[in-house]
Amino acid sequence: MQSKFKRILFGGDYNPNQWPKEVWEQDMAYFKDAHINSATINVFSWAKIQPSENEYNFTELDEIVDMLSNENYDIVMATSTAALPAWMVKKYPETMSTDYEGRHHKFGARHNFCPNSLVYQKYAKALATELAKRYSCNKNISVWHINNEYGGYCYCDNCQKQFRVWLKDKYKTLDAVNDAWNTEFWGHTFYDWDEIVVPNELSEETWGGMTSFAGISTDYRRFYSDSMLNCYKLERDAVKAIIPDALVTTNLMGTFKGLDYFKWAKEMDIVSWDNYPAYDTPWSMVAMTHDLMRGLKDEPFMLMEQTPSQQNWQHYNSLKRPGQMRAQSYQTIAHGADTIQFFQLRRSKGGCEKFHGAVIAHVGTNDTRVFKETAQLGRELESFGTRTLGTRNKSDVGIIFDWDNYWALEYTSGPTQDLKYVDQIHHYYEYFYNKNISVDMIPVDGDFSKYKVIAAPVLYMVKEGMKEKLEQFVKNGGTLITTFMSGIVDQSDNVHLGGYPGRFARWQVSGLRRLTRSHRSSQTL
């Protein structure tokens, strides 16, 4: 397919605003040595470019954009809305989130905003609009990057009110809500919409992250994913109102539990994500996550962030061995990436990420091992030209990944707290990986006809139409592999009655035979 880029983007997060101008000049020379051709800017600059409610100051950002444009960089322009400015929190404290324990937060950190705050939405949209207006004619801006690593949860009154609105839209009546959540259990029946409260540690989720009512908690996950997505769409639409053909994304986080990325991908022009494996993460797990990101749109993706050396925020932050960064980068390209980008290009001197890896380390020179390895990779990628751009992976095997199932399985108070959805998916992915068999990670509403084999590990939640879809796949000659804890509940986490494995207990005979053979052959594929 046609790539969305004219070259492999090679660069990463760049924060020249943290440094004096003479450092900028040195950076440009060093980046040229490293064959860096792209920079992600303005990620956390809201306070800088909007110092007060009614004032914008783009002077420094203009200088950064001009400098990069003059050097013919591909610019990834972020909208800066991931961390609130202090003035906003001071005047509008409702923009801050309320945590799982019910504490309303003060200014600080990030992932700190309430997505259902109308004030936050107003100013985030306004900022995205101003940025789009100012830089609409700049042809070096290749991608618009909304917010940053959407995540976190809020349980404030705004969210509670919007949750009720969301439920009314989904279920229409309280009777339908009570039925879906089986509120007869423990006498939790609701007779008024205002009786419904958010499920946090003050209400339904009071025992080690588990829940008394999985239906309530799963719906809150769905609602919150939609709430965050609405914020993304608000900014995206603001940019596209000014620049209709803008390429818009936001950086995802692999198997992050909080957001339904298949639903999000439908609203993104290109998928981008941040790859930060731990020192002991199997390469097969990294490969699986790349395939998941590729599978979100069944298209090439952007690697928005990886470290060239070490992380700073994991329990154990090991330095990448010689050649490891290069190998991981090639693995990324092999699984569908059209970009290789780092966090970050120059290491910060302060803040919690001051020891996070960077192309230019604190020593400030271009003769470190990490810089030389980056430069080597840059030369190699540059020599590829466009040969790898837009390439597609063809797979005969699909593995189903479903966020609804993810949430429901890990909320259940069933077999063990150690039953983790992603680990179970990886067990099956790893088998194919070790056999060098290409795999697509696919959604429940994907096109199953493209595959000879579909694996559906721990398909605990079987939503309406799913049983029939899988049955048709088998009837058409496909081989289905499933596992324990499959077929058990519906979309509201209520058990499919009639015996286990629930919805799969009454397969048509032809399907049952195929399933039996699949089970026996799963060790020999």
pLDDT of residue 524: 31
pLDDT of residue 525: 33
For the cut 50, the answer to whether the pLDDT of residue 520 exceeds it is no
How many Cα atoms are found within 13 Å in the side-chain-facing hemisphere of 429? 25
CA-closest candidate to residue 115, choices 75, 71, 77, 159: 159
pLDDT of residue 257: 97
Contacts of 276 (CB under 8 A, 6+ apart): 305, 306, 307, 311, 314
Tokens of 512: 């049952």
- What mean pLDDT do residues 345-363 have? 96
296-306: pLDDT as tens digits: 999 999 999 99
Bridge partner list, 495: 489
CB 354: neighbour CB atoms within 10 A? 12
Domain boundaries, position 77 = 9-87+114-152+245-384
Boundary-marking domain end, from 333, 360, 384: 384
* 279 & 377 share domain: yes
* 469 & 365 share domain: no
Q: In angstroms, rounded to a whole number, what is the distance separating the alpha carbons of residues 372 and 369? A: 5
Q: In angstroms, rounded to a whole number, what is the distance separating the alpha carbons of residues 519 and 482? A: 8
Count of domains for the chain: 2
On average, the pLDDT of the chain sits at: 94
* 475 & 506 share domain: yes
Boundary-marking domain end, from 361, 384, 407: 384
Q: In angstroms, rounded to a whole number, what is the distance separating the alpha carbons of residues 22 and 16? A: 10
pLDDT of residue 44: 96
Handedness of CA 288, 293, 295, 298 (dihedral sign): negative
Kindly report the CATH number assigned to the domain that includes residue 478: 3.40.50.880
426-446: pLDDT as tens digits: 999 999 999 999 999 999 999
pLDDT of residue 415: 81
- What mean pLDDT do residues 123-130 have? 98
Question: With bands split at pLDDT 50, 70 and 90, how would you rate the model's confidence at 451?
Answer: very high
Residue 239 lies in a domain: no
pLDDT of residue 416: 82
3-state secondary structure string across 39-108: EEECCCCHHHHCCECCECCCHHHHHHHHHHHHCCCEEEEECCCCCCCHHHHHHCHHHECECCCCCECCCC
pLDDT of residue 511: 41
For the cut 90, the answer to whether the pLDDT of residue 522 exceeds it is no
Residue 103 lies in a domain: no
For the cut 70, the answer to whether the pLDDT of residue 521 exceeds it is no
Residue 431 lies in a domain: yes
Contacts of 416 (CB under 8 A, 6+ apart): none
Q: In angstroms, rounded to a whole number, what is the distance separating the alpha carbons of residues 138 and 218? A: 43
Tokens of 85: 């400015």
* 359 & 303 share domain: yes
- What mean pLDDT do residues 238-259 have? 98
Kindly report the CATH number assigned to the domain that includes residue 312: 3.20.20.80
- One DSSP character per residue, 151-166 reads -----SHHHHHHHHHH
- For the CA atoms of 439, 290, 229, 211, the dihedral, rounded to the nearest 10 degrees, stands at 80
Handedness of CA 63, 66, 69, 71 (dihedral sign): negative
* 332 & 415 share domain: no
For the cut 70, the answer to whether the pLDDT of residue 128 exceeds it is yes
For the cut 90, the answer to whether the pLDDT of residue 134 exceeds it is yes
**Where are the strands (E) in 112-170, listed by range?**
141-145
For the cut 50, the answer to whether the pLDDT of residue 293 exceeds it is yes
- What mean pLDDT do residues 384-412 have? 95
Active site residues: 149, 305
For the cut 90, the answer to whether the pLDDT of residue 209 exceeds it is no
pTM of the model: 0.95
Q: In angstroms, rounded to a whole number, what is the distance separating the alpha carbons of residues 60 and 80? A: 14
Tokens 């986490």 appear where?
493
5-52: pLDDT as tens digits: 999 999 999 999 999 999 999 999 999 999 999 999 999 999 999 999
152-193: pLDDT as tens digits: 999 999 999 999 999 999 999 999 999 999 999 999 999 999
Residue 237 lies in a domain: no
Question: With bands split at pLDDT 50, 70 and 90, how would you rate the model's confidence at 510?
Answer: very low
472-491: pLDDT as tens digits: 999 999 999 999 999 999 99
* 378 & 473 share domain: no
For the cut 70, the answer to whether the pLDDT of residue 370 exceeds it is yes
Residue 486 lies in a domain: yes
Residue 261 lies in a domain: yes
Residue 404 lies in a domain: yes
- What mean pLDDT do residues 370-375 have? 98
* 379 & 410 share domain: no
Pairing of strands 272-274, 337-342: unpaired
* 286 & 357 share domain: yes
CB 56: neighbour CB atoms within 10 A? 15
pLDDT of residue 509: 36
pLDDT of residue 512: 43
Strand order in the sheet with 272-274: 248-249, 141-145, 74-78, 38-41, 9-13, 337-342, 301-305, 272-274, 251-252
Residue 508 lies in a domain: yes
Contacts of 391 (CB under 8 A, 6+ apart): 300, 336
Establish whether the linkage from the previous residue to 344 is cis, with ω within 30° of 0: yes
For the cut 70, the answer to whether the pLDDT of residue 523 exceeds it is no
* 25 & 137 share domain: yes
Return the exposure string of 154-170: e unless at least 16 CB atoms fall within 10 Å of the residue's CB, then b. Answer: bbbebbbebbbebbeee
Tokens of 326: 């290069």
Q: How far does the chain reach from its first CA to its final CA, in angstroms? A: 30
For the cut 60, the answer to whether the pLDDT of residue 508 exceeds it is no
pLDDT of residue 507: 67
Q: 3-state DSSP call for residue 481?
A: strand
Is residue 75 within 8 A of residue 99, CB to CB? The reply is no
* 334 & 307 share domain: yes
* 146 & 22 share domain: yes
Boundary-marking domain end, from 384, 406, 440: 384
* 277 & 425 share domain: no
Helix, strand, coil share (%) of the chain residues, nearest 5 = 40, 15, 45
For the cut 90, the answer to whether the pLDDT of residue 398 exceeds it is yes
Question: With bands split at pLDDT 50, 70 and 90, how would you rate the model's confidence at 409?
Answer: very high
CB 450: neighbour CB atoms within 10 A? 15
pLDDT of residue 446: 96
For the cut 60, the answer to whether the pLDDT of residue 518 exceeds it is no
